[in-house]
């Protein structure tokens, strides 16, 4: 007895024998049954449930096209609304810049006029410095 490890040997007789069935034929019969079962399933269901690759699938035009157009229309309306707001803001900023420039020029003119009025009201005496003290006229 060379094989004492209990391994399977095809020539080793099993208790109970073959019991009348051949292992290879049984597998073939089961495969045939599954094959026949799958064929009848396809006949019942037809080809409607067959897998279709994504690039070959037909897309429903009404729902997807309408949904896309609706979404693009909303986006366009929002962009146009934002564009109007930006144009109004640009106009407002331009008006503010013009007003600020006008005010700056006006303030310069007022400074010049105040200096002229001041020089007329308080004339400098010839030969005297502007920092000379003067006597209070009320004394």
pLDDT tens digits, 75-103: 999 999 999 999 999 999 999 999 999 99
Residue-wise pLDDT for 19-54, tens only, equals 555 555 666 666 666 655 555 555 555 556 688 888
DSSP 38-104: HHHHHHHHTTTTS---GGGPPPPHHHHHHHHHHHHHHHHHHHHHHHHHHHHHHHHHHHHHHHHHHHH
pTM of the predicted model as reported, rounded to 2 decimal places:
0.38
């Amino acid at each position: 007895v060379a094989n004492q490890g209990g391994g399977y040997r095809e020539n080793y007789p099993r208790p109970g024998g073959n019991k009348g069935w051949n292992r290879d034929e049984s597998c073939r019969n089961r495969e045939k049954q599954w094959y026949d079962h799958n064929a009848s399933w396809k006949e019942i269901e037809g080809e409607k449930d067959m897998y279709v690759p994504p690039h070959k699938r037909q897309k429903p035009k009404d729902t997807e096209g309408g949904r896309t157009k609706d979404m693009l229309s909303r986006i366009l309306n929002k962009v146009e609304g934002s564009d109007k707001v930006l144009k109004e803001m640009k106009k407002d900023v331009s008006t503010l810049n013009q007003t600020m420039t006008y005010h700056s020029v006006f303030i310069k003119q007022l400074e010049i006029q105040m200096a002229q009025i001041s020089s007329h009201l308080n004339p400098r005496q010839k030969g005297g410095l502007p920092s000379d003290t003067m006597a209070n006229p009320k004394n």
